[in-house]
Amino acid sequence: MISDSFPEEDKFDLDKLEQKWDKISMIYRKEYPELKEEDLSYRQGEFDLMTDRIAKRTNRSREAIWQEIRNWKL
């Protein structure tokens, strides 16, 4: 479930982020080899939990992870 700490536009953007994530997840893992498979996997409705894991493993904020995924060039 999306945290209330995100701005409204991020809540509406979740579907787009999940779709994009499905396309870039393997490339993302190569970019960040410290990430483990369990860091990158998520179930429907748990995208924010996955980005929390990535943020923790890479010492960045969840907001930074969302922004990076949103801006990733395909």
- At 2, is the pLDDT very low, low, confident or very high (cuts 50, 70, 90)? very low
pLDDT greater than 60 at residue 8? no
CA distances, 23 to each of 7, 16, 41, 46 (Å): 24, 11, 13, 17
Is 42 inside a domain boundary?
A: yes
How many domains are contained in the chain? Answer: 1
CB 27 within 8 A of CB 15: no
Is 3 inside a domain boundary?
A: no
- At 7, is the pLDDT very low, low, confident or very high (cuts 50, 70, 90)? low
Dihedrals φ, ψ of 58, to 5°? -105, 5
Domain that holds residue 66: 17-71
Question: From CA 36, how far away is CA 45, in angstroms rounded?
Answer: 20
